[in-house]
Amino acid sequence: MQVKKLADLAVSGKRVFIRADLNVPQDEAGNIVEDTRIRASLPSIKYCLDNGAAVMVTSHLGRPTEGECRAEDTLAPIAVRLGELLGKPVRLIRDWVDGGVDVKPGEVVLLENCRCNKGEKKDSEELARKMAALCDIYVNDAFGTAHRAEATTHGIARFAPVACAGMLMGAEIDALTKATENPARPLVAIVGGAKVSTKLTILKTLAEKVDQLIVGGGIANTFLLASGKRIGESLAEPELVKEAQAIMDLMKARGAEVPLPVDVVVADEVSALARANRIPVDEVGPHDRILDVGAKTSAKLTDIIAHAGTIVWNGPVGVFEHNQFAGGTKMMASAIAHSEAFCIAGGGDTLAAIAKFHIAQDVGYISTGGGAFLEFLEGKTLPAIEALEARFRD
């Protein structure tokens, strides 16, 4: 993928419009409880400020009703936190689409929640043209929304004088391209989660590319069913057994493999107090629930990861939230941390596992976009990136 990069552009004296992803969690009083996304947006903002640009930043927050901006929709708390991190005041500007924006070189302002504007979600051309008129350079730094064609992620990129990827967006594109277009082999994909149905497309796409496809959680249970194993009362989708078998057949035809569990950790309920029993997969009883992989399976997966050239990780292999069912995911995380392979990881549960096992500094790249990350891996065209590609040679 070829897109213009912010770091390659001269921004001095320019009006720069940055679409960031500042959609952070807040408590009932509106206080920010976790600011990772705000911190992730800082490099692009600082680059523009340090190089004398007049900077406008906007983002969505929550799910506002278009045309309204209620108290819970405002970016006011974000402006305060952004100002603290930048060490300078950040003004919040309301009604900015038609009113114009007064911002000087070396100054940054925050434009109120972009999804409060009528036409944002429907990618209104009229709205996009108005926003494009506010700037000399448009910067998309919101990879988490790259799979949505909206006025601030897609439309404005068509009409702004210059359209480019910010530091965060550029890094996402580079990392995903490295992991998917010409990866170091063997290429190992780890796909965990509750349901095959939610990840069927990605499983089929990866099955045509990867050397090993590790499946975990409820997905693995469906694959065990397809291979003729009994899974008791474990979470699975029996109606998708044929699809699971087709994926295994596709991998086998390519000389690749879907390594299934040979031993598992079972319990009769999913809770912090449940008693974990470690048994061979052939001994799963009619009332057992498979909640993790066993030690022999963990060792096998660890060996696969140790020999990988590239790892794509989306999802745990067990119910790692409870420590007695976290062993498989913990061993896998440790193997990734010690691997020489380039690893790109994404998805909410994956990020939670990375945080729980303290391996963030040992993962090659952690993607900030859940849905966008998955759709990229599925081979889908992401509208926001497509819009930047179309402007590359302008």
The two tokens of residue 147 are: 């799979």
Q: How far is the C-alpha of 101 from the C-alpha of 168, rounded, in Å? A: 25
Helix-, strand-, coil-residue percentages of the chain, each rounded to 5 = 45, 15, 40
Q: Are 272 and 322 in contact (CB under 8 A)?
A: yes
129 labelled binding-site residue: no
Q: Is 176 annotated as a binding residue?
A: no
- The response to whether 389 counts as a known ligand-binding position is no
Q: Count Cβ atoms within 10 A of the Cβ of residue 186 and give its class: 0-12 exposed, 13-18 middle, 19 or more buried.
A: middle
- List, in order, residues 6 or more apart from 246 with CB less than 8 Å away: none
Question: Is 70 assigned to a binding site?
Answer: no
Establish whether 23 is an annotated binding residue.
yes
Residue 210 tokens read as 């990867």
- Indicate if 371 belongs to the active site: yes
Smallest CA-to-CA distance from 13 within 83, 103, 92 is with 103
According to DSSP, the β-strands at 263-267 and 277-280 are antiparallel
User: Is residue 195 flagged as an active site residue?
Assistant: yes
Torsion angle (degrees, nearest 10) of CA 194, 196, 200, 204: 110
CA distances from 28 to 31, 207, 357, 365 (A): 7, 44, 29, 32
d(CA 215, CA 238): 16
Q: Is there a binding annotation on residue 86? A: no
Give the Cα separation of 277 and 267 in Å (integer).
Answer: 6
Q: Tell me whether residue 213 is annotated as binding.
A: no
Catalytic residue among 99, 228, 255, 348: 348
Residue 393 annotated as binding? no
Q: Tell me, yes or no, if 122 is annotated catalytic.
A: no
Residue 22 marked ligand-binding: yes
Nearest in space to 87 (alpha carbons), one of 37, 45, 27, 129? 45
63 is in an annotated binding site: yes
Of the residues 15, 19, 37, 330, only one is catalytic, namely 37
275 is in an annotated binding site: no
Which residue out of 118, 129, 178, 195 is catalytically annotated?
195
Is 37 marked within a binding site?
A: yes
Q: Are 223 and 242 in contact (CB under 8 A)?
A: no
113 is in an annotated binding site: no
Tell me whether residue 30 is annotated as binding. Answer: no
Q: Is 122 annotated as a binding residue?
A: no
| Catalytic residue from among 230, 371, 379, 380 | 371
Q: Active site includes 100?
A: no
Is 381 part of any known ligand binding site? no
- Binding site residue list for substrate: 21-23, 37, 60-63, 115, 148
Catalytic residue ranges: 37, 195, 348, 371
- Binding site residue list: 21-23, 37, 60-63, 115, 148, 199, 321, 347-350
- Binding site residue list for ATP: 199, 321, 347-350
